[in-house]
Amino acid sequence: MGVPAPAKALRRFPTGRLAFVALIIVVMGDGAGRVALAGPVEDAVKGLASPSGETILANIKQLSTLGDPRGIAALQALTDDRLRVGADGNAWIYDKKTRDLVDPFTGAAAPPSAKPAREVETDNDIRRAAEPVLAELQLGSPEASVRLGAAQELSRSGSEGVGALLHRALDREKDKGVQDALAMAVARVDVGSNDANLRLAAVKLIQKSGNDEMLGELQRLLGVGADGKPNEPDDRVRDGAQDALKAVMNRRRLITGIGSIIHGLSLASVLLFAALGLAITFGLLGVINMAHGEMLMLGAYATYAVQTFFQSHLPNFFGLYLFAAIPVAFFVTFGVGVLLERVVIRHLYNRPLETLLATWGISLLLIQSVRLIFGAQNVAVANPDWLAGGVELAHGLVLPYNRIGVVAFVIAVSVAVWALLYKTRIGLNVRAMTQNRNMAACVGIHTRRLDSWMFGLGSGIAGLGGVALSQLGNVGPELGQSYIIDSFMVVVLGGVGRLAGAIVSALGLGIVNKLLEPVAGAVLGKILVLGFIILFIQRRPQGLFAIKGRTEA
């Protein structure tokens, strides 16, 4: 065992080792310090700092009998090779962060009289003896997180002789998470037991939790030995194992499914960013912007540029660079969009097919320009600290913060777009124009100006999508190309110029895509989806949410 149990357990919590020491202080309640050197625990801890291996072993046993969680810190330090014998003969813990000696009970810094200190010699025997005792003490800890860590570690190692200890701990455990981990630990120990009843109870426990850590054990139970006889002599246990295996596989499938949905949601978010803009421009202007994917790409590169700027000029505020990147990306792409509309697209409003070609040409120009400016290689945009990592929802199911962030961001942007279109004067004008452009112009709506603003808005939303995309993966000049066809499909499926349509079909496409991936493979899944859309629009050429617009489609 490389890293001792509790250290590994602790690393799963954001606090870290110092907090562990602090926690012990809290546990103790009083900062008694070295003055009160009385009591059996104190004696035993002092005894750990002995040059004799036998004395150490005896004191470990003593700590085990005492069962007082105050011994945890010292034992932990012992297994980590951080326990020191001070010049005063007392036991001290070497703190790696402060590089100083601290008191094993209070965490207070050691007085000068303790120094110099030397390391307590440990060997494998000592460590082997210390670890179960440490786990045992931790299982008795009043802090649920400490118990959970110990239980998880025990469920992984499942060393002999801890069975009874685990059973005891399981019986008195109240916390749900710790209970599960303890149950796994019990199961792991018991499944190798000679008592068929214990083995049966173990597989029942596995079945209840569905945890796939024990998959190997179950398969071994169900397997057939070299002599042709089943590994498991007892029928009941075999049946139980069969059921447990089924439960484990079901749970595993569920977790993969949920994982796919999470990935699908974030893909859907990116698609939605692209499709929102497309839906607006297509619905309002009746043109398809083939350079729309490049707006995603420009947004992502804008994020990269802001990130680089923060790295070199404002390293102290690096965690905040995303908040600067959002407006930068939006206004860069908004500007490019408006410029595009003014220079090119405005002149092609009556020729939608040619617009397609012209915007394709623009996308080539944009890609090549970015390639010349930033290089043809992909660049990496780092997640700020607060978007790195994720929450572990269940064993094996991690919900990454960056994906949560992207989904939240797209929701916010969709709400903003909805509010803009349905709650403001501009939105009213835009909707009027979508329905009847000439009439809208007659009642005094400045249609030309709105055209270019809306084109800019669509591009800007795609630019925001680029910010989101930069948080999910690498950024390269061809980034937009891989999303453009999918986002067209979203628009085709959702119907032209409909926000709700775009949202529903982006969600649907994103999730279906990712759900098909584990079943059919990434490529085949995509082909199936494309095939479905081609068939779908045979039936409903106007998309899911058809409106009677005036777009010639």
Closest CA to 210 of 158, 168, 255: 255
Task: Work out whether 539 is an interface residue with other proteins (CB under 8 A).
Answer: yes
Q: Could you tell me the CA-to-CA distances from 425 to 50, 445, 447 in Å, in that order?
A: 81, 11, 13
First to last CA, the chain: 67
Q: What is the DSSP letter of 379?
A: B
> Which two tokens mark 2?
């490389």
CB 505 to other proteins: min, Å = 14
CB 454 to other proteins: min, Å = 17
Closest CA to 464 of 342, 369, 332, 362: 332
CB 480 to other proteins: min, Å = 13
Stretch that binds other proteins, among 131-139, 368-376, 400-408, 453-461 (CB under 8 A): 368-376
- Which of 26, 353, 408, 519 is close enough to bind other proteins by CB under 8 A? 353
Task: Work out whether 352 is an interface residue with other proteins (CB under 8 A).
Answer: yes
Q: Could you tell me the CA-to-CA distances from 224 to 220, 228, 243 in Å, in that order?
A: 8, 6, 17
Task: Work out whether 351 is an interface residue with other proteins (CB under 8 A).
Answer: yes
- Which of 254, 519, 524, 546 is close enough to bind other proteins by CB under 8 A? 524
Closer CB to other proteins, residue 212 or residue 486? Answer: 486
3-state secondary structure of 151: helix
- Which of 152, 211, 303, 363 is close enough to bind other proteins by CB under 8 A? 363
CB 421 to other proteins: min, Å = 22
Count residues binding other proteins (CB under 8 A). 43
- Which of 526, 544, 547, 550 is close enough to bind other proteins by CB under 8 A? 526
- Which of 254, 357, 393, 419 is close enough to bind other proteins by CB under 8 A? 357
- Which of 356, 379, 394, 397 is close enough to bind other proteins by CB under 8 A? 356
Closer CB to other proteins, residue 37 or residue 364? Answer: 364
- Which of 25, 58, 196, 344 is close enough to bind other proteins by CB under 8 A? 344
CB 552 to other proteins: min, Å = 6
Q: Could you tell me the CA-to-CA distances from 342 to 364, 449, 450, 451, 486 in Å, in that order?
A: 19, 9, 11, 9, 27
- Which of 312, 313, 538, 548 is close enough to bind other proteins by CB under 8 A? 538
> Which two tokens mark 348?
């092609």
Closer CB to other proteins, residue 230 or residue 352? Answer: 352
Binding positions for other proteins, 427-486, rule CB under 8 A: 485
Task: Work out whether 360 is an interface residue with other proteins (CB under 8 A).
Answer: yes
Stretch that binds other proteins, among 90-98, 213-221, 397-405, 521-529 (CB under 8 A): 521-529
Q: Could you tell me the CA-to-CA distances from 535 to 182, 197, 268, 519, 531 in Å, in that order?
A: 52, 58, 21, 21, 6
- Which of 453, 488, 505, 517 is close enough to bind other proteins by CB under 8 A? 488
- Which of 113, 311, 368, 436 is close enough to bind other proteins by CB under 8 A? 368
Q: Which residues contact 434 (CB under 8 A, 6 or more apart)?
A: 283, 284, 497, 549, 550
3-state secondary structure of 285: helix
| Residue keyed to tokens 């007392």 | 90
3-state secondary structure of 317: helix
What is d(CA 42, CA 105) in angstroms, rounded to the nearest whole number? 9
Task: Work out whether 191 is an interface residue with other proteins (CB under 8 A).
Answer: no
| Residue keyed to tokens 């009439």 | 439
Task: Work out whether 489 is an interface residue with other proteins (CB under 8 A).
Answer: yes
Task: Work out whether 58 is an interface residue with other proteins (CB under 8 A).
Answer: no
> Which two tokens mark 343?
């220079």
What is d(CA 319, CA 311) in angstroms, rounded to the nearest whole number? 10
Closer CB to other proteins, residue 276 or residue 345? Answer: 345
> Which two tokens mark 312?
């070199």
CB 527 to other proteins: min, Å = 5
- Which of 178, 181, 221, 362 is close enough to bind other proteins by CB under 8 A? 362
Task: Work out whether 553 is an interface residue with other proteins (CB under 8 A).
Answer: yes
With contact defined as beta carbons under 8 Å apart, do 491 and 278 qualify? Answer: yes
> Which two tokens mark 128?
């082997």
With contact defined as beta carbons under 8 Å apart, do 133 and 60 qualify? Answer: yes
- Which of 358, 417, 445, 472 is close enough to bind other proteins by CB under 8 A? 358
Chain center to CA of 113:
48
Chain center to CA of 64:
38
- Which of 61, 96, 118, 347 is close enough to bind other proteins by CB under 8 A? 347
What is d(CA 287, CA 279) in angstroms, rounded to the nearest whole number? 10
Residue 185 zone, left/alpha/beta (φ > 0; ψ -120 to 50; rest): alpha
Stretch that binds other proteins, among 58-66, 114-122, 172-180, 359-367 (CB under 8 A): 359-367
Q: Could you tell me the CA-to-CA distances from 296 to 152, 209, 268, 275 in Å, in that order?
A: 43, 43, 14, 11
Binding positions for other proteins, 228-287, rule CB under 8 A: 282, 287
- Which of 22, 365, 373, 500 is close enough to bind other proteins by CB under 8 A? 365
Closer CB to other proteins, residue 39 or residue 541? Answer: 541
CB 296 to other proteins: min, Å = 16
Enumerate binding residues for other proteins (CB under 8 A): 282, 287-288, 344, 347-348, 351-358, 360-365, 367-368, 371-372, 485, 488-489, 492, 521, 523-524, 526-527, 530-531, 533-534, 537-539, 541, 552-553
